[in-house]
């Protein structure tokens, strides 16, 4: 290590070498007019000698703009969505000239939320993406949230739309309805649902959509065929076994995630159930791998990177609006958009006919 690198060169170092006040150095750096030409020259020489870099932070302090967006996540849970969403955000932020400041949140008490917001305010982020999933009452604080009380705009992703709060989410009710309609359209009479964790808003919405489709079809008696998984592959098999206990004639299953559906396919294989002849199986997420399972898995495409991109654009719109500046055309996002899933039908449900039992 050379000694120059041991310590960051500060404004004070420049001031000392130049024999002027820190304020004078600051004036030179910020191009203020209240400095004599001699002083300016001397300060600039000292900046050069010491390798002082006029700090982005100093500019932030005077302009109040950091070109940084705070992202609050809880990566420990549901890593797939968080991991993929990060990448969508990182790419979009980069395109629009922002850096992301990522902070982890594990505790959703109101004190922790206040601390997190204060942290982000202190760092002068230009806006906030609230990216943790809505679990139980983790987002209850948004019900009474006064957006104007924050010095920067906030957008929540994958959360229940609320009046006065910007959200970008998927239409999980519609996803549940479309999936269930698809299985009904195959003529299946004993359909079950392996839901995600039932304290999640996303799972609850899909269950509501499932119930709505059954009600439309006059088959609400199937609505009781629901068990709970945790999104992860290891809960698919046990979920299938519990459904078979509730409904021994089970002939189709709508699984809340492709990862759980992989567990269902493995368990069906063990039990000697043919997919789709004996049991039609479908998931949600449409992972790249899902087309290559045995058999290829019917699924609902959930474009998580796109959700993150849309949220970032909406946030940039709000940042511009607060500053009274025009926003880029790409940021003209409608209020509280609900992105839709696409049904992709593959072999795991493609056989309309049931095997004779």
**Chain residues 52-71 in contact with a copy of itself, contact rule CB under 8 A:** 53, 55-58, 60-62, 64, 66, 68
Residues 321-340 that bind a copy of itself (CB under 8 A): 322, 324
Locate 352 and state its tokens.
């309309």
150 belongs to the binding site for a copy of itself (CB under 8 A): yes
Residues 234-253 as x/- pattern, contact with a copy of itself by CB under 8 A: x-xx----------------
83 belongs to the binding site for a copy of itself (CB under 8 A): yes
Length of the chain: 357
DSSP letter, residue 287: -
Applying CB under 8 A, which part among 97-105, 168-176, 198-206, 239-247 lies near a copy of itself? Answer: 97-105
Distance CA 313, CA 96 (A): 9
Least CB distance from residue 285 to a copy of itself, whole Å? 12
Which residues, in sequence order, are CB contacts of 142 under 8 Å at separation 6+? Answer: 156, 159, 162, 165
Residues 253-312 that bind a copy of itself (CB under 8 A): 259, 262-263, 265-266, 269, 288-289, 291-294, 296
Task: Considering the complex, state which of residue 93 and residue 279 has its C-beta at the smaller distance from a copy of itself.
Answer: 93
Residues 161-200 as x/- pattern, contact with a copy of itself by CB under 8 A: ----------------------------------------
Contact 245, 273 (CB under 8 A): no
320 belongs to the binding site for a copy of itself (CB under 8 A): no
Applying CB under 8 A, which part among 29-37, 99-107, 183-191, 308-316 lies near a copy of itself? Answer: 99-107
Distance CA 210, CA 175 (A): 9
Compute CA 287 distance to the chain's CA centroid, rounded to the nearest angstrom: 16
Contact 260, 231 (CB under 8 A): yes
Output phi, psi for 302, to 5 deg: -120, 105
Based on its alpha-carbon atoms, the radius of gyration of the chain, rounded to whole angstroms, reads: 27
Contact 58, 10 (CB under 8 A): no
100 belongs to the binding site for a copy of itself (CB under 8 A): yes
Residues 112-141 that bind a copy of itself (CB under 8 A): 118-119, 121-124
Q: Which of 32, 45, 49, 79 binds a copy of itself (CB under 8 A)?
A: 79
DSSP letter, residue 96: T
Distance CA 51, CA 45 (A): 10
76 belongs to the binding site for a copy of itself (CB under 8 A): yes
């Amino acid at each position: 290590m050379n000694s120059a690198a041991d310590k960051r060169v500060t404004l004070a170092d420049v001031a000392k070498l130049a024999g002027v006040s820190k304020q004078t150095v600051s004036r030179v750096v910020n191009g203020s007019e209240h400095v004599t030409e001699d002083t300016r020259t001397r300060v600039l020489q000292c900046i050069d000698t010491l390798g002082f870099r006029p700090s982005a932070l100093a500019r932030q302090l005077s302009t109040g703009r950091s070109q940084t967006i705070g992202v609050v996540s809880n990566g420990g849970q549901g890593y797939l969505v968080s991991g993929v969403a990060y990448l969508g955000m990182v790419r979009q932020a980069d395109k629009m000239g922002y850096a992301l400041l990522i902070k982890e949140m594990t505790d959703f008490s109101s004190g922790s939320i206040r601390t997190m917001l204060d942290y982000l305010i202190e760092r002068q982020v230009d806006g906030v993406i609230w990216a943790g999933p809505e679990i139980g009452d983790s987002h209850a604080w948004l019900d009474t949230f006064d957006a104007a009380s924050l010095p920067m705009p906030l957008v929540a992703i994958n959360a229940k739309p609320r009046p006065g709060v910007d959200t970008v989410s998927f239409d999980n009710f519609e996803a549940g309805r479309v999936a269930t309609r698809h299985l009904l359209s195959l003529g299946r009479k004993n359909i079950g649902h392996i839901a995600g964790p039932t304290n999640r808003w996303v799972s609850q919405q899909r269950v509501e959509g499932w119930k709505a489709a059954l009600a439309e079809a006059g088959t609400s008696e199937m609505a009781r065929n629901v068990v709970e998984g945790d999104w992860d592959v290891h809960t698919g098999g046990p979920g299938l076994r519990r459904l078979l206990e509730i409904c021994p004639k089970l002939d189709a299953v709508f699984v809340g995630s492709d990862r759980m559906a992989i567990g269902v396919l493995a368990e069906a294989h063990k039990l000697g159930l043919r997919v789709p002849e004996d049991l039609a199986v479908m998931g949600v997420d449409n992972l790249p791998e899902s087309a290559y399972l045995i058999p290829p898995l019917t699924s609902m495409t959930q474009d998580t990177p796109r959700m993150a991109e849309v949220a970032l654009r909406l946030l940039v719109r709000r940042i511009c609006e607060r500053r009274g500046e025009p926003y880029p055309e790409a940021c003209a996002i409608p209020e509280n958009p609900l992105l839709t899933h696409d049904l992709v039908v593959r072999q795991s449900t493609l056989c309309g006919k049931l095997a004779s039992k």
